[in-house]
Amino acid sequence: MKNYIKHDPWCIIEDGFYAEYNEITESLTSLGNGRMGQRGNFEEKFTGKTLLGNYVAGVFYPDKTRVGWWKNGYPRYFAKVLNACNWIGIDVQIDGETLDLGLCPVSEYSRVLNMKEGILERTFVASLSDGKQVRVHSQRFCSIVDDEAGAIRYAITLLNFDGKITLTPYLDGDISNKDSNYGEKFWDEIRKETAFGEAYLEMRTKDTPFKTELFNVCTGMKIDLTLNGEPVDFQSKPVKAEKFVACKVEIEAKAGEEVALYKYAVNLASLNHPTDRLLANAKAYVERIADKGFAQMKAEQIEAWAERWDKNDIVIEGDDAAQQGIRFNIFQLEQTYTGEDDRLNIGPKGFTGEKYGGSTYWDTEAYCLPFYLATADQKVARNLLIYRHKHLQKAIENAANLGFKDGAALYPMVTMTGEECHNEWEITFEEIHRNGAIAYAIYDYIRHTGDEGYLAEYGLEVLIGIARFWAQRVNWSSDKQKYVMLGVTGPNEYENNVNNNFYTNYLAVWCLRFTLEGIRSWKSEVSELLQKINFDFEVETAKWQHIIDNMHYPYDAQRQVYLQQDGFLDKELLTVDDITEHRPINQKWSWDRILRSCFIKQADVLQGLYFFEEDFDLDTIRRNFDFYEPMTVHESSLSPCVHVILAAMLGYKEKAYEMYLRTSRLDLDDYNNDTEDGLHITSMAGTWMSVIKGFAGMRIRNGVLSFAPYLPDQWQGYSFRITFKGQIIRVSVKPEAIEVENFSNLPVSFAVNENLVELEANGHRTLIITVKK
């Protein structure tokens, strides 16, 4: 854990330069707009610790799979998030001396990410040789209004001397991924151009044997210069090198004068433009934003962010650390995915790093969907569902590669295009519960939006593929006289290749039942589909029903808890308090030791109880929580949020608050010692859930939105907005009351602590409700 980021309700503040933590701060101050983004790297040269990162949504490289021993069924390639052209770079020389914070002493340093406005700002004073001092003030943003563009204002003031400032804003396409197998480069240069004050560089991803789509990205820039705020004439000298293009300008300045360079940049990808129009479109785009100008772009950015915050903010009173945490999570989610493009998804690191690769994990369905359901237009969540519908055929092929047949679908663990691109057998082939999360998301979407027709339109086709997979994946144990599911990895990846993981077995049966009910309800509407996919109603549904009725669930009758898997009780049952010095175990223990220990990476049985809460009584949930939580090391970012929700439900307020801080400040405080690789984007939606479903106890029961809020002792109040079936309400939880506002044109009904409440159109109501203690 680290604690150098200042607590502030709206800003991420590095006050003073923490060079050792620079890669962490770079992650924390990442910018993005759904189409492109980058880490909070410095514009000027920096020879200290840094991880340069610029990313373009949907652009990936299929790198050669790296394994020791090949196993049948492994995917051909691993889709890497591709580190792309660096468009923020500005080489700075003062009287011929390069400005480099790795070398110059620096003072009055601050780096501030203003989340309210979506702007990253840096100020510092650097000391050069001969006692020369310069002040730098940079501002940068990725525009959420012009979402293929970004802008930088980089201002230099010579403090105690007159001198010559040489500025070389550049575009550098000679970039490699940190995680390339052997340092290979993945980009070829296609063309470059530079003329007065403008530069363009078009790169294409290298060809591979894997025949996936190649991507062209054209990056362009235009620069401008002011002296004390006034435009100045300047000469720009074109610079060209391999995969590199720049404009060099020189200006003489007197002490106290401010020279400001404006850099307007765009990133146009062949995903969104005809390849042969990339350069022309980039030029037009650059022209347009440069004409608009930095001040106008910035004003629009602030206004657009204000609109977003108006919809999505969670306000927490009396606890800056908690407030900063939740806003940081919401801000980063908003930067990563806007939901406008159904080809995109929510990568685990967003635009903040390249670790893990791929873009789509089960995180999307299990953790992110609820956030978008409750805070965005319905089409955003729907696009996330349709993304999987589009990949159904690939999921069927994927299952066929593993020996399944007749339309059984196994969605990949990690994907960019629908093809599997992860290659550890215990994950790729065995962490199959992901399939269930995709089914659950359909259920979640329908109960939240009321869009029942989705089942007939898209949902059932996906559900049947998934159900067919489960029906083939189980086998009958003549020993147990039950169906069993052998050789799986559950959400707790600290167990591999186990038999009868409770969560997976339960989820599989749920999928079969949900699909069965769906088919029965929509039989006539989907008759054409059923014919198309050769659905044998009698045979298939009978098989499913038999599995539903006869699945084995490991259970300990003595403790009355579900067992994570068969044989769990053979382990030495310790608690995390027994291994304080050994944590995080994934950095200290060998894999076999982790596997045979009882320690749990993230909610597993508890993930099932969270998903299917209504199937279990509170005592059952409590017994399982009390048994498993003390063994849980929360070394997955997806772990704490589920525990907040369950702890809140069980009235474990201290545990809930502890877990809330852990999920909301996971990256800010670097809990798992890995923020330097990038942020944990998908779990940020879990943080949102931990407030809404945890402290506020939001549920949807029989189609009715309900709350059971309480106020953590550390807070004076909190409020949030929720979209539900097209209606929008704001809920404010205060020490002795709950206030609800209705922003819709229709009356809204919902339940609070199981009392049904009606609120008139555009209405405001204060409920005097004793909040749970």
Which residues make up the interface to a copy of itself (CB under 8 A)?
65-69, 71-73, 78, 181-182, 401-403, 422-426, 429-430, 475-480, 484, 486-487, 496-497, 499-500, 566-567, 569-573, 586-593, 595-596
Q: Which is nearer to a copy of itself, 180 or 226 (CB)?
A: 180
Q: How far is the CB of 590 from a copy of itself (least distance, A)?
A: 3
**Rounded to 10 degrees, what is the CA torsion of 422, 427, 430, 435?**
-70
Shortest distance, position 499 Cβ to a copy of itself, whole Å: 5
- Closer by beta carbon to a copy of itself, 235 or else 587: 587
Say how many CA atoms lie within 13 Å of 744 toward its Cβ.
Answer: 18
Q: Is 5 exposed, middle or buried (0-12, 13-18, 19+ CB in 10 A)?
A: buried
On whether 727 is known to bind a ligand per the annotation, the reply is: no
The CA distance from 240 to 256, in Å, is: 33
Q: Return the bridge partners of 766, or none.
A: 739
CA separation for the pair 181, 383 (Å, rounded): 34
Burial class (CB in 10 A: 0-12, 13-18, 19+), 731: buried
User: In whole angstroms, what is the distance from residue 476 CA to residue 487 CA?
Assistant: 14
Complex with a copy of itself: residue 359 or 496, whichever CB lies closer: 496
**At closest approach, how far in Å is the CB of 561 from a copy of itself?**
13
With H, G, I as helix, E, B as strand and everything else as coil, classify residue 213.
coil
CA 69 to chain centre: 32
> By C-beta, is 499 or 550 nearer to a copy of itself?
499
Positions annotated as catalytic residues are 493
Q: What Rg, from alpha-carbon coordinates, does the chain have?
A: 27
Q: Residue 243 annotated as binding?
A: no
What's the closest the beta carbon of residue 412 comes to a copy of itself, in angstroms? 14
The whole-angstrom separation of Cα 186 and Cα 197 is 28
Residue closer to a copy of itself (CB basis): 67 or 618: 67
How long a stretch of residues is the chain?
773
Nearer to a copy of itself, 239 or 402 (CB): 402
Is 32 or 347 the residue whose CB approaches a copy of itself more closely?
A: 347
Give me the DSSP letters along 54-105.
EEETT-EEEEEP--SS--TT--SEEEEEPP--B-S-EEEEETTEEP-TTTS-
Beta strands in 657-716 (DSSP E): 699-701, 704-707
Minimum distance from residue 579 beta carbon to a copy of itself (Å): 11
What is the nearest approach in angstroms of a copy of itself to the Cβ of residue 573? 7
- In order, the DSSP letters of 419-472 are SB----HHHHTT-THHHHHHHHHHHHHHHHH--TTHIIIIIHHHHHHHHHHHHH
CA dihedral sign of residues 760, 763, 766, 767: positive
Least distance in Å: CB of 566 to a copy of itself? 6
Q: Is 688 a known ligand-binding residue?
A: no
Distance CA 246, CA 197 (A): 9
Q: How are beta strands 216-227 and 198-205 bridged, if at all?
A: antiparallel
Our CB check for a copy of itself shows the closer of 537 and 591 to be 591
Instruction: Supply the minimum distance, in Å, between the C-beta of residue 597 and a copy of itself.
Output: 9
Question: Sheet containing 764-767: which strands, arranged edge to edge?
Answer: 314-317, 717-724, 727-733, 738-742, 764-767
Contact call for residues 305 and 118 (beta carbons, < 8 A):
yes
The four Cα atoms 314, 320, 324, 330 give a dihedral, to 10 degrees, of -10
Q: Would you tell me how many other CB atoms lie within 10 Å of the CB of residue 617?
A: 10
Contact call for residues 167 and 262 (beta carbons, < 8 A): no
User: If residue 259 lies in a helix (H) or strand (E), which one and from where to where?
Assistant: strand 258-269
Q: In whole angstroms, how close is the CB of 186 to a copy of itself at the nearest point?
A: 15
* Residue 725 marked in a binding site: no
- 68 or 703: CB nearest a copy of itself: 68
Q: Residue 152 in contact with residue 222, Cβ under 8 Å?
A: no
Distances in Å between the alpha carbon of 746 and those of 727, 749, 759, 762? 8, 10, 9, 7
For a copy of itself, the closer of residues 277 and 480 by Cβ is 480
Of the pair 323, 500, the CB lying nearest a copy of itself is at 500
Q: Compute, in degrees rounded to 10, the torsion defined by CA atoms 114, 377, 393, 437.
A: 70
Count the Cβ atoms, other than its own, within 10 Å of residue 116.
15
Identify whether 584 is preceded by a cis peptide bond (ω within 30 of 0): yes
CB of 501 to a copy of itself, least distance (A): 13
SS3 (DSSP) at 715: coil
Strand 244-253 to 258-269 pairing? unpaired
Q: Give the count of beta carbons closer than 10 Å to the beta carbon of residue 581.
A: 6
Which residue numbers belong to the known binding site for substrate?
362-363, 601-602
